[in-house]
Amino acid sequence: MRKIDPADEAQLFATIDRWVEREVAPRVKEFDHADRWPAEIVEQMKELGLFGATVSQDYGGLGLPATTYAQIVMKISAVWMAITGIFNSHLMLALAVEKFGTEPQRRHWLPRFASGEIRGGLALTEPNAGTDLQAIRMTARRDKGDYVINGTKTWISNGIEGSCFALLVKTNPEASPRYSGMSLFIAPKGPGFTVGRKLEKLGYHSIDSGELVFQDYRIPADHLIGEVEGRGFTQVAGGLELGRINVAARGVGIAEGALRLATDYAQLRHTFGKPIIEHQAIALKIGEMATRARAARLLTLDAAQAFDRGDRCDMEAGMAKYFASEAALENSTESMRIHGAYGYSKEYDIERLYRDAPLTCIGEGTNEMQRLIIARQWARRSQA
């Protein structure tokens, strides 16, 4: 990914700040409470180039480094985390094609992804396979110049409103080890590809999470990413590093947003003749929240810098995702408690952050799995 001039980066951040303040913040309650797809905001994100944020400029994207992209996600997530999922899931699809696809695949698909003409996501999870991706059951059978796909995916972001997905399947269900029989396809909606029910969620509203059903779905062989079978698991694992950096950035945004809301409220709310921020019990909470948010930001930028250098960064991304998501959960909880009864009211923004935060502990691999990844990589690096 290209380096970005500091002046250009500052201008980009200022543009994002203005957009969030003028267009997103005034309408977030309207969309979130109704759990309604934010079509107008999606169009604005297209105009801002967010659907091509990390796509190379050679294919019509902004070509942003992960460090810049992560900070954009932080800024938006501090106000409304859910909409970052609309373009992040999409960018995971684009990354798979750009990193592992053939040049004809890149030329055909990436400009349309970058413009937002085609939007979609990553279709990995199945009813009986989440963290253990090797347990997927969806199959793709070669039939002359096509593949025929059967199976079901679930909890797929953009599943209803999106039109194209990076679809993980088994082209050789009998392969050993299991991952060697997995392949990744570019799968646009069409005959045999239907959308099941919309899944209702505690938070993370307005981005659709759906079931995708494939019944004799026929797809041309040139939709196999890289056009070589058996590489799907490796292709997905390579993209998850950036996905975890994104989730970490979301956690930072929530942690910082919750801190800001708590600080503002604690300076305005008076008890016993002074602002509650001057009471030791509240001051201690604010101090802990500020430290967590800062540490989460630094860990996330450290992982993004490693990604930009081209280093293996599963440990760094895992650390950032684990710590930042827990910081989001703890800060949103503490902020709600500082708000008292008002924190439990839908009239206040903190209740939304409180509902959204738990997802960051689950998405892109649970925090339990992140700790295992961290421990394994730490042990390997310690022996080097």
| 255 CB-near residues (< 8 Å, 6+ apart) | 289, 292, 293, 296, 324, 327, 328, 330, 331, 332
Q: What is the mean pLDDT of the chain?
A: 95
Question: 3-state SS string over 113-147?
Answer: HHHCCCCEEEECCECCECCCHHHCCCEEEEECCEE
Residue carrying structure tokens 């025929």? 148
| 305 CB-near residues (< 8 Å, 6+ apart) | 66, 67
Among residues 209, 148, 192, the alpha carbon closest in space to that of 363 is found at 209
CATH 1.20.140.10 for the 234-383 domain, yes or no:
yes
At residue 325, does pLDDT exceed 70? yes
Lowest mean per-residue pLDDT among 61-65, 236-240, 259-263 = 236-240
83-108 average pLDDT score: 96
Give the distance from CA 214 to its chain's centroid. Answer: 24
Confidence band for 56, pLDDT divided at 50, 70 and 90: very high
At residue 1, does pLDDT exceed 80? no
118-127 average pLDDT score: 95
Residue carrying structure tokens 């003409």? 117
Lowest mean per-residue pLDDT among 109-113, 263-267, 380-384 = 380-384
pLDDT, tens only, 160-191: 999 999 999 999 999 999 999 999 999 999 99
Confidence band for 285, pLDDT divided at 50, 70 and 90: very high
85-101 average pLDDT score: 95
Q: Which residues are catalytic?
A: 364
CATH of 121-229, one of 1.20.20.10, 1.10.530.10, 2.40.110.10, 3.40.50.720: 2.40.110.10
DSSP lists the bridge partners of residue 271 as: 274
CATH for 6-115?
1.10.540.10
pLDDT of residue 241: 87
Residue limits of CATH 2.40.110.10 in the chain: 121-229
314-322 average pLDDT score: 96
Give the distance from CA 271 to its chain's centroid. Answer: 40
Among residues 129, 166, 203, 137, the alpha carbon closest in space to that of 355 is found at 203
Residue limits of CATH 1.10.540.10 in the chain: 6-115
At residue 93, does pLDDT exceed 90? yes
Q: In what helix (H) or strand (E) does residue 271 lie, and over which residues does it extend? A: strand 270-271
Residue limits of CATH 1.20.140.10 in the chain: 234-383
At residue 287, does pLDDT exceed 60? yes
